[in-house]
Structure 1
Amino acid sequence: MTDGYRTILASLAVRNLRRHAVRSSLATVGIVIGVIAVASLGIMGSSLSALFGGLVSDVSDTVLVTPHLAASSGDPFDPRNTLASRLSERDVAEIEKAVGQNRVIPMIRASERVTVGDTGGYTQVYVLPAEDIPFLLEKEAGLYPQTTSSGVMVGALLADEFDLHPGSRIEVGGENVRVVGIAAERGMGIDINPDYAVIVTEAWYAGRHDEQGYSQVVVKVGDLDEVGEVKAAIEQQLNRREEEVDVLDSREILEIYYETSDAISVFLIGIGAVSLFVASVSILNVMIISVTERTREIGLMRSIGAEKREVMVMFLYESLILGIAGSVVGGLVSVVVGYYVTASVAGFLTGFVAADGGTAILSPAAIGYIVFGVLFGIAASVIAGLYPAWKAAQQSPIEALRYE
């Protein structure tokens, strides 16, 4: 088959698609939606993975110790671990004994109602020994809370939202307190997420609550090469007789994040693939109708010498054109859709809309999902056109010419 003959077949395919513009457009829209679903959902999954990696990458020196529960998975982000359970002063002493010179920071996580003016709501409260707050958090303005002080520190984003600054007065748990400092924006981490939180000293909290024990203990390891040894030492010290604590380092938690995000990505792409499959069925239907309507034309072509292969190629061109048009448009639209979806998800997870969504969408992985969606859409369209094209090529010229 010469290039000129291929051009003629392609022009015949374009002519038929134009003759049935509405039907062709509807089939193309299906491909557009399918490609958008595959590409944008893939981008969202990729961005989630990148976001998760960023959440813990800055605390690679951290070992997290939490109370062990019979129902616990060991994952500190597992909802089952929100059950009331505490680490005692004795547990903290045992951890300090196990880790040697490395920093041990006991912490209580609580929830209190915070009121600023006429606006109020519940937010996270982190309770820390006063001497550990400067070690764990940087300050943006003001001072760190002191053991003898009744002041509190607030996260940067909470301060921005309510226009707080050192010296502002807020209510925490119904008590009017003074904001002495603003913590620098830090983002989420496995140890502490202070941006929308209130940070108070252990002495301040103990004077107002009877709660005993700690929610978790954060161990900061000076030498990253010793993280595994420190973790093993803690487990050996506290879990000798029975499992009392769960010990995770940031690398394990990052692995949990990646496994979760990979599973989400596969699931999301699967949803998009189903949409694309439905669109390919639409193309299959359009092509079968086209073959039926052009039976006499097929008979005429065969009677003047057209081969089966050439008839088949002509109809495959139709499905290919539909696939290319729909896939390219879908790929372009998915860039915009993926950006806004990713930015929204990032804002929901981190409590604010950051530039992570925009960065992730331009990453090689995101571009790869767009290319994959486009190629998938084209391939699905061609596959959908195979049977109708084969059916058209197998028709007898005489029978086709007699078709009414």
Structure 2
Amino acid sequence: MKKPDIIFQLSVRSVRLNLLRSVLAALGIVIGVVAIASIGMISANMTLSVTEELSATANILVVTADSGGGGGEPGPGSGGSSSDDDEDYLTSDQFDDIRKAAGSSFVYYLYSESDRIETGDSSGHATIYAMEDEAMTEILTLTEGSFPSTTSQVVIGPDLVERYGIEVGSKVSIGDEDDDEGETTVRVTGILEERGMSMDINSDSAIITTEKFFTGRYDGEDEYSQVNVVVDDIDEIDTVKESIEDSLNKKENEVKVEDSSRMLDSISSTLGTITSFALAIAGISLLVAAVSIFNVMMMSVTERIREIGILRSIGTQKNEILRMFVYEAAIIGVVGAGIGAILSLIIGYVVVFGMVGTTEYFFAWDSIINVPEGMIIGAVICVVSGVYPAWRASKLDPIDALRAE
């Protein structure tokens, strides 16, 4: 039968005798582990959620005018956003070229404008989109109602429904009486299904109108904000992208062709920067915990000089004294890290649900791995903080230690 480690038992006894001080020291580790693990899980869940949403549109290419090339001349100044603001746009000829280059892929153009909206006592701003009727029914999905059949009818995204309490049959005023375009009242005939984050069309917080309504109000007929290409086979997306660029950018850069990978890289990079900054702040709590552990262990050595002298006088080796104090630091660290891990799961779950809106990816490997990582960091910091006090205790002269008051 294996004999119990008397050195470890002495360490446990010391922690129990100074329980309050040990608990306060462990509390710093708990806070640090919770902070690091929770922030890591929030970042992982955000990234996984965004990746999943963008993956749904991974087969879509977005073509826009290249502001540095020949992507259309400014409009003639007749009221549309392309005209008034000298924004670049794609022409009908460019659209035809894109459609030819895209082969069998579904290609559609999109008008867009930002405008003021008002319904009941609420007002704000929303994106106004317009497209061909065929594209509207192909790309968008309704949860209730029907698609517009006249210029006075629109469909609306779920975010605007929630924000303004709009329902099928509600009337919405677009524009401002003081603007050149004036104010136009339309009726909501349908509510769109939620699409989430998407690079092709952000319909969740937008109003979708007919092409005739859009060009009648904002002008800019055949001046498209962007052209979207839905590729049949996702494995062919690079081929289609190259085909469009080769076709339209022969002499000069007329268009920019983007897929979801660039948007995903940009979002991931931004989230990574924010997470690194947040983790640096969380690391401060572990630094405070390390100082606390160091202080506790130094106090423990100071208070137990005579005990150390007795242990040394009866034959206890220096490495055993060192081990005893390292054990104490390790016990505090492991207990603190364990409690921190449990709290991280509870607090992290609540925070992820509140910030991300879903816990679908909470137990995914990229998310849950942050808990053991936080535990290891907390425990290691605790042990490292106890190494010097333990080394100092092991170096005490037994005779001088026995003389200590």
TM tier relative to shorter chain: 0.7 to 0.9
Which residue identity does 1:88 align to in structure 2? T
Which residue identity does 2:88 align to in structure 1? S
User: Displacement of 1:309 after TM fit?
Assistant: 1.5
Q: 1:99 touches 1:230 (CA, 8 Å); kept in 2?
A: yes
SS at match of 2:56: helix
**Which has the higher mean CA deviation after the structures are superposed, 157-166 or 24-33?**
157-166
Aligned with residue 31 of structure 1, among 29, 32, 42: 29
Structure 1 gap ranges (5+): 72-81, 347-352
Q: Does 1:325 align with 2:309?
A: no
Aligned with residue 138 of structure 1, among 125, 136, 141: 141
SS at match of 1:93: helix
Deviation string, structure 1 residues 188-219 (Cα, Å, up to 9, x no partner): 21111212221112211111113563322111
Q: 2:312 — aligned with what?
A: 302
SS at match of 1:282: helix
SS at match of 2:218: coil
Partners of 2:57 and 2:396 in 1: how far apart? Answer: 68
5 Å-filtered alignment, 1:36-75, equals 36-69=34-67
Q: 1:38 touches 1:271 (CA, 8 Å); kept in 2?
A: no
Partners of 1:400 and 1:319 in 2: how far apart? Answer: 22
Q: 2:102 — aligned with what?
A: 99
Q: 1:142 touches 1:166 (CA, 8 Å); kept in 2?
A: yes
Q: 1:195 — aligned with what?
A: 204
Change (3 A) 1:70 1:277: farther
Partners of 2:206 and 2:53 in 1: how far apart? Answer: 16
Aligned with residue 241 of structure 2, among 227, 231, 235: 231
Q: Using structure 2 for the length normalisation, give the TM-score.
A: 0.86
5 Å-filtered alignment, 1:2-401, equals 3-4=3-4, 6=5, 8-69=6-67, 84-146=87-149, 148-173=150-175, 174-211=183-220, 213-262=223-272, 264-346=274-356, 353=357, 355=358, 358-401=359-402
Q: Using structure 1 for the length normalisation, give the TM-score.
A: 0.87
**Which has the higher mean CA deviation after the structures are superposed, 229-238 or 125-134?**
125-134
User: Displacement of 1:265 after TM fit?
Assistant: 4.5
SS at match of 1:207: helix
User: Displacement of 1:397 after TM fit?
Assistant: 0.4
Which residue identity does 1:26 align to in structure 2? L
Partners of 1:246 and 1:329 in 2: how far apart? Answer: 52
Identity %: 38
Partners of 2:111 and 2:351 in 1: how far apart? Answer: 34
Count residues with an aligned counterpart.
Answer: 381
User: Displacement of 1:394 after TM fit?
Assistant: 1.2
User: Displacement of 1:375 after TM fit?
Assistant: 1.7
Q: 1:167 touches 1:180 (CA, 8 Å); kept in 2?
A: yes
Deviation string, structure 1 residues 269-293 (Cα, Å, up to 9, x no partner): 4443443233222211221121122
User: Displacement of 1:260 after TM fit?
Assistant: 4.5
Structure 2 gap ranges (5+): 70-84, 176-182
Change (3 A) 1:110 1:403: farther
User: Displacement of 1:31 after TM fit?
Assistant: 0.4
CA RMSD of superposed structures (Å): 2.4
Change (3 A) 1:70 1:285: farther
Partners of 1:373 and 1:140 in 2: how far apart? Answer: 43
Change (3 A) 1:10 1:84: farther
**Which has the higher mean CA deviation after the structures are superposed, 150-159 or 27-36?**
150-159
Which residue identity does 1:58 align to in structure 2? A
Partners of 1:225 and 1:128 in 2: how far apart? Answer: 27
